[in-house]
């Protein structure tokens, strides 16, 4: 029925999914469950009831894309690539991004990887995010809720990344190969501190590093180490608008008021401060 298997599993019966020979835009399993790609190239596995979570809107995803394409978070993308390339030197690299957004970090990681064979799975509940992630080369973009069992086989991934998105360490551990790397990125307390109040931004409490490490260790992910990456960004009014709108505040902020506020603030230096936490699976 299908040609070859992928590392993606059927959200209904958990059997391997593969592309149908005649249609490379249809994934199906042996039991006959079929998923057609949307015209923008992503797949939606959230059939039935869907999810209770609020997806990032088209405007929020557009703001994220505009902000990221200016390179403001490039140092973080570089740090992720270096960490992954130092840890993994195989011929192939199989990455899963849980809560991938536009696929920005995935794209940079794949671009900077010396591996000859690249395979990536981007998961996010936002259809608008997955439209963009579907454009990242070597990447299958799937609308999915990361709190559920992830649609990929046990021990099928070399690396899991999870940036500013919900953590599901039990599932990250299940899908990682022995010795596989899991990298979690969080915002540090001083992240964007110059503009959080003036722009009415919501900060999503990421919890303390010790709590994160404990939560991951409880699922069999050993803490390799954490690093803080802090630098100043020079942001103009457009950047500030996109920054405020691309995060959770984008669900609540009025575009008109935000526009006025960012014009009033003008250009200014803003602190980027990330916690980059690395874990490895136990044998």
Ligand X SMILES: C[S@@+](CC[C@H](N)C(=O)[O-])C[C@H]1O[C@@H](n2cnc3c(N)ncnc32)[C@H](O)[C@@H]1O
State yes or no: residue 31 binds Zn ion (CB under 5 A).
yes
CA–CA gap between residue 68 and residue 144 (Å, rounded): 23
73 vs 216, beta carbon nearer ligand X? 73
State yes or no: residue 27 binds Zn ion (CB under 5 A).
no
CB of 145 to Zn ion, least distance (A): 18
CB of 168 to ligand X, least distance (A): 8
Which two three-digit tokens encode residue 68?
A: 């990221």
Q: Are the CB atoms for 122 and 103 separated by under 8 Å?
A: yes
46 vs 237, beta carbon nearer ligand X? 46
Q: Are the CB atoms for 271 and 190 separated by under 8 Å?
A: yes
Residues making contact with ligand X (CB under 6 A): 53, 55-56, 64, 99-102, 104, 123-126, 129, 145-147, 163-166, 247
Between the alpha carbon of residue 198 and those of residues 41, 136, 265, 268, the distances in Å are 38, 35, 8, 12
Query: 268-281 and 18-20: which strand pairing?
Result: unpaired
User: Of these partners, Zn ion, ligand X, none, which one is at the site of residue 131 (CB under 5 to 8 Å by kind)?
Assistant: none
18 vs 99, beta carbon nearer ligand X? 99
User: Of these partners, ligand X, Zn ion, none, which one is at the site of residue 28 (CB under 5 to 8 Å by kind)?
Assistant: none
User: Of these partners, ligand X, Zn ion, none, which one is at the site of residue 145 (CB under 5 to 8 Å by kind)?
Assistant: ligand X
User: Of these partners, ligand X, Zn ion, none, which one is at the site of residue 31 (CB under 5 to 8 Å by kind)?
Assistant: Zn ion
Candidates 5-13, 144-152, 182-190, 240-248; binding stretch for Zn ion (CB under 5 A) = 5-13
The residue of the chain with the least Cβ separation from ligand X equals 101
How many CA atoms, within 13 angstroms, populate the side-chain half-sphere of residue 132? 26
C-alpha angle 191-198-239 in degrees, rounded to nearest 5:
65
What is the CB neighbour count within 10 angstroms for residue 22? 8
């Amino acid at each position: 029925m299908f040609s070859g298997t992928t590392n993606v599993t059927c959200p209904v019966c958990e059997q391997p999914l593969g592309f149908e020979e005649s249609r490379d835009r249809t994934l199906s399993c042996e039991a006959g469950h079929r998923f057609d790609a949307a015209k923008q190239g992503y797949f939606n596995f959230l059939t039935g009831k869907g999810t209770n979570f609020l997806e990032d809107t088209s405007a929020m995803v557009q703001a994220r894309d505009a902000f990221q394409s200016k390179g403001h978070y490039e140092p973080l993308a570089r740090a992720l690539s270096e960490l992954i390339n130092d840890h993994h030197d195989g011929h192939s690299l199989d990455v899963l991004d849980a809560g991938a957004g536009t696929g920005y970090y995935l794209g940079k990681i794949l671009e900077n990887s010396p591996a000859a064979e690249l395979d990536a799975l981007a998961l996010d509940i936002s259809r608008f995010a997955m439209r963009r992630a579907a454009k990242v080369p070597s990447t299958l973009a799937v609308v999915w809720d990361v709190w559920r069992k992830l649609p990929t086989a046990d021990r099928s991934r070399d690396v899991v990344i999870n940036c500013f998105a919900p953590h599901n360490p039990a599932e990250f551990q299940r899908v990682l190969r022995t010795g596989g790397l899991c990298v979690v990125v969080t915002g540090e307390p001083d992240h964007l501190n110059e503009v959080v109040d003036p722009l009415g931004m919501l900060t999503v409490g990421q919890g303390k590093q010790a709590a994160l490490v404990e939560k991951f260790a409880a699922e069999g992910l050993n803490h390799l180490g954490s690093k803080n990456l802090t630098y100043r960004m020079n942001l103009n009014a457009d950047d500030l608008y996109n920054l405020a709108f691309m995060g959770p505040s984008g669900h609540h902020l009025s575009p008109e008021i935000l526009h006025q506020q960012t014009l009033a603030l003008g250009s200014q230096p803003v602190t980027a401060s990330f916690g980059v936490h690395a874990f490895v699976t136990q044998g």
